[in-house]
Chain A
Amino acid sequence: MKFRTRRTMLYIPGNNPGMLQLADIFGADAVLFDLEDSVAPNEKDAARDLIANMIRFREYENIEITVRINPIDTPYFDRDVKEIIASGNLDAIRLPKANSAKDVKALEKLINKYEEEFKIEPGSIKIHPMIETAIGVIQSYEIASSSDRIDAITIGGQDLTANMGVSKTKEGKEILWARSQVVMSAKAANVDVIDTIFADINDEEGLIEETRLIKSLGFTGKAVINPRQIKPIHAVFAPSKDEVEWAFEVIDAYEKALKEGRGVIAVRGKMIDPPVRKRAQRIAGMAYLMEQE
């Protein structure tokens, strides 16, 4: 299987054909077509029809296609899920305001139904719950581990700070705990964890600083709202030369050990176990991607 990463997931407003039709050219790892906040209530139907057609006919190249639908408690929820699954080429659904495992289960049930109805490979459509309330943060492990369809969870900073009754700052101290909690839950559930957007598209330094922070916390990627934010984030996530060399040593040693039937191996004096090997494979994959860019 091709190495897939989600360093960047590019938001695109759902009712804007000019931007939707260009989604795959900016070099983001994934696109996030949005039916929620960027679409006015009286245009939800239009955006849904448009996104469904884009996914059905546009044949995007080498990019993960995800759609942020409207929350469960809105009248659009069922239609959103149905229409975008009917489009046939969807990779994942981002579920906003996931407050509990129950919410995920509700979406899962719908996906099961429509996958069957539209003859999509069962289980192929993933779920990305979005943690953006206090209760969601508290329940984040239950959410992250509530379905086999989940392969990433994400945090939504704007709504979360609103829910906390504080304002979102550039430094982000107010959501530091929440970020750490969400990362920990994701790691415990063994899924990717995607950070919230950085709103000031003109502040590249601020973006880089924040990306360094969230990378150090354990996030595997970040949502972006402007194509200009993609490169700086990929650069932060790029492994160092030393990391890449280490990764290839680990992979080689592992394969050699496997061939020779040895169980225990060490690289640079340290034991290599499956989690370390997984990290090495991830770094090697990243290095390959960076070479392509």
Chain B
Amino acid sequence: MKISKKSSAGSLESSDLMVYLEPMDTIKVEAVSSVSTSQHQKEIEALVKKELKKAGITGAYVKVQDNGALNLTIKARLKTAISRGIE
């Protein structure tokens, strides 16, 4: 399954994040965080990739703007964005 249209979920509030999805043939994930180091941003990217796999998504360009969200929030926002990005 691939993302078929642009979508997003979340907010820029503290403890939240914005997830932006765009159609793409493969998986590409880019995360930036206002509270964490670059090492941590890589971990967010890994989490997103794992969740995409679980959801059976094989094509998506994912951008994450994190403001200190817990992992469970990252997962929830990604789930919402995916359901919004699949027709």
Binding site for B on A (CB under 8 A): 15-18, 21, 45-46, 49-50, 52-54, 56-58
Contacts and interface: CB of A to CB of B under 8 A. Distances in A.
A49 B80 contact: yes
A54 to B, nearest CB: 7
- Interface size class on chain B is 10 to 19
Contacts of B11: 15
A53 B72 contact: yes
Interface of B: 9-11, 13-16, 69-73, 75-77, 79-80, 83-84
Contacts of B16: 16-18
Contacts of A53: 72-73, 75-76, 79
A242 to B, nearest CB: 46
Given A17-B15, A18-B16, A46 B9 contact: yes
Nearest to A17: B73
Contact of A17 (B69, B79, B83, B84): B69
Nearest to B73: A17
Contacts of A49: 76-77, 79-80, 83
Given A21-B15, A21-B70, A50 B77 contact: yes
B26 to A, nearest CB: 25
A50 B80 CA distance: 9
Closest 3 CB pairs of A and B: A18-B15, A53-B76, A57-B72
A16 B13 CA distance: 9
B70 A52 contact: no
